[in-house]
Structures are given as C-alpha cells and as structure tokens.
Amino acid sequence: MKYGYSCKMEEENVARAILKDAGISSKHAIEICSHLRHKKVAYAKEFLGSVIKKEKAVKFTRFTAGAGHKTGIGPGKYPKKASEIILQAIESAESNAIDKGLGLDLKIVHLSAQRASTPWHYGRQSRRKTKRTHIEVVIQEVENKQKKVAKEKTSKKEEVKQDQTIQKEIKETKEIKDVLKKVASETPKENIIENKEEHNKAQNEVVNVQVPESSDVSNDKTLTESKQPKIQEKENKEEKTK
C-alpha cells in the first residue's frame, strides 16, 4: 500500500522523506520532533550532532518521567539512537531537495513521529514488545525578502492594470449610451407619430379583408354556369323577332 503523509503540501517547492518501522522509542522521537519543527535544516543537523556527542540535551515537555534536570533547560535527556535516525531522515530529505533543484536555505515545515506496530521480541526477550516508530520529514525552501517584495510589486501592478481596463470599459459604455440618447432626442416626435399611424392603418386593413370560404366559391361557380344557356336562348329569340 502507498503510504500517505499526514500533511498536504505543494510538491513544487517541497522535498519529503519517510522512515518506517525505525527501532527507536516513540517518546524520544516525539520530543525531538517537537523541538526541531519549524527550524532550519542547518540548525537541526548541528543540534542532533551535539546531542549524539552529549554536548546538548533535548528538553522533554511531555514525557518527563525519569528525565533528570539539566542546567538552563529543565527536564531533559540525551536520546542518542533516536537522534541518529532522525538525522538520517533529515539528510535524506535534504538530498531530495538538492535533486529537485531547491536552494540550500531550507526549513523543516513538517516533522512528526508516529507509533508503529510493536511485535514481540525473539528468544529470551519474547515477553517484551519492540519499539518502532514512523518518521515523516517535509522540507521547504525559504524565500528571500527581496523575492517576496518583487512578487508583491508585480501582483500590485497587475491589479492596477486590471482596474484601469475595467474603468476604460465603463467609460466606453457610458459614451455609447450618451450617443444613443442624443440620437433619440434629435429625431422629431411628429415623424414617429406618423409612422405609428401608418402602421396601425395597415394592420386594420389586413384585419378587415375577409377571404371567402371554399364552399361559397364553388356554389357561385355552379350558379353562373347554369345561367349562361338561358341567357343565350333569350338573345336568340330577340334576334328572330327583329
């Protein structure tokens, strides 16, 4: 199965690394991760190296049972094995960032330790369970202030250009409306009224015209055809009398 990260980040400016089923204490790993989260990679590497040499102690804030007092820190320990493995995970994420072409100024955006499965030991330690943890590292490139300022300036310029184009379009629409109003005001009302009257007359004429039905037309034709021979007989009689 594909392992899913507990955080969602953009893949362009980010490099990631996972270490699964590491044989370290989850309590020690959680304390180290909480201390190094949102710190720079250079500081994390230096700090873990000094912890391995027992020059600096990791401050314990959650799992303080059995942690001795350290000067200037309070309860703390020197978790050597956990710091070695977390250092390996950070270095692998850094190498992934270099392969992607990111800069050297890197920051730890996400660093978490999660408890993994705990199978039984073998042999004489069969009555004890192993200690295993999953470690996630996500690194991001730190942007310079100059780059941020340049991006902000470009974004502001683009916004100003968009506002100018919108204002130009509004002015053009207003001018078109004014021209149409002037044309409508210049045309005399008498011409408009005459055109309306002519249009109404034409409509009335069309309505008054009645088309004869087909049955009436056929009856008229039959009547005219029946009257024609009688008219011819009368004309012939008149000619004979003359």
Confidence of residue 75 (pLDDT cuts 50, 70, 90): very high
Cα 192 to Cα 199: distance, rounded to the nearest angstrom: 11
pTM of the model: 0.59
Element at 110 (helix H, strand E): strand 106-115
- CB-based contacts of 61: which residues, under 8 Å, 6+ apart? 31, 34, 75
Element at 241 (helix H, strand E): helix 214-241
pLDDT in tens, 43-73: 999 999 999 999 999 999 999 998 999 988 9
| Domain covering 14-120+128-142, topology | Ribosomal Protein L22; Chain A (3.90.470)
Confidence of residue 199 (pLDDT cuts 50, 70, 90): low
At position 134, the amino acid (one-letter code) is H
Per-residue pLDDT, 22: 93
pLDDT in tens, 103-130: 888 999 999 999 999 888 888 877 888 8
